[in-house]
Amino acid sequence: MAIDIVMPQLGESVAEGTVIKWLVSRGGHVKKDQPLLEVETDKVSLEVPSPNTGSLSEILITEGQTVPVGTVIARLEGSRNSVSDNGRREMNLQPTETKEELCLESVHYSPAVKRLAREYHIDLARISGTGAGGRITQKDVLAHVNKGQIQPTPPFAPKLVISPRPEQAIARDELLPFTPMRRSIAERMVESRRTSAHVVTVFEADYSVIEKVRRRLSLTYLPFVVKAVTQALRAYPILNASWSDKGILMKHSIHIGIAVALEDGLLVPVIRDADQKTLKQLAQEIADLAYRARTKQLKPEEVQGGTFSITNHGGFGSLLGTPIIHQPNMAILGMGTVQKRPVVINDAIAIRPMGYLSLAFDHRGIDGATADKFMTKVKEGIEHTKGETTS
Partner 1 sequence: MITATDHETTYLEAISEALDEEMEKDDRVFILGEDIGPYGGAFRVTEGFQEKYGEWRVLDTPLAESGIVGAGIGAAMMGMRPVVEMQFADFISCAFDQITEMAAKNHYRWGAAVPLVIRAPYGGGVHGGPFHSACPEAWFFHTPGLKIVAPSTPYDAKGLLKAAIRDENPVIYLEHKFLYRRVKDKLPPDDYIVPIGEAEIKRSGADLSLITYGAMVHLGLEAADILAGEGIDMELVDLRTLSPLDKETIMTSVRKTSKVIILHEDNKTGGIGAEISAILAEQCFGFLDGPILRIAAPDTPVPYSPPLEEQYLPKVSDILAAARQLATY
Binding site for partner 1 (CB under 8 A): 110-115, 131-132, 135, 137-138
CA torsion 329-197-266-184 (nearest 10°) is 100
Q: Does 252 participate in catalysis according to the annotation?
A: no
Catalytic residue among 121, 363, 372, 384: 363
Closer residue to partner 1 (CB): 89 or 108: 108
Closest separation in Å from C-beta 152 to partner 1: 14
Closest separation in Å from C-beta 161 to partner 1: 24
Closer residue to partner 1 (CB): 142 or 319: 142
Show Cβ contacts of residue 134 under 8 Å, excluding neighbours closer than 6 positions: 128
Burial 286-323 (b: 16+ CB within 10 A, else e): bbebbbbbbbbbbebebbbebbbbbbbbbbeebebbeb
Cβ neighbours of 354 (radius 10 Å): 19
Closest separation in Å from C-beta 338 to partner 1: 37
Closer residue to partner 1 (CB): 115 or 216: 115
Count Cα atoms within 13 angstroms, Cβ side, for 333. 31
296 conformational bin, left if phi > 0, alpha if psi -120 to 50, beta if neither: left
Q: Is 355 helix (H, G, I), strand (E, B) or coil?
A: strand
Query: In one letter, which amino acid is 182?
Result: R
304 conformational bin, left if phi > 0, alpha if psi -120 to 50, beta if neither: beta
Closer residue to partner 1 (CB): 114 or 299: 114
Q: Does 367 participate in catalysis according to the annotation?
A: yes
Gyration radius from the chain CA atoms: 24
Catalytic residue among 123, 273, 367, 384: 367
Closest separation in Å from C-beta 139 to partner 1: 8
DSSP 350: E
Closer residue to partner 1 (CB): 2 or 142: 142
- Name the residues annotated as catalytic: 363, 367
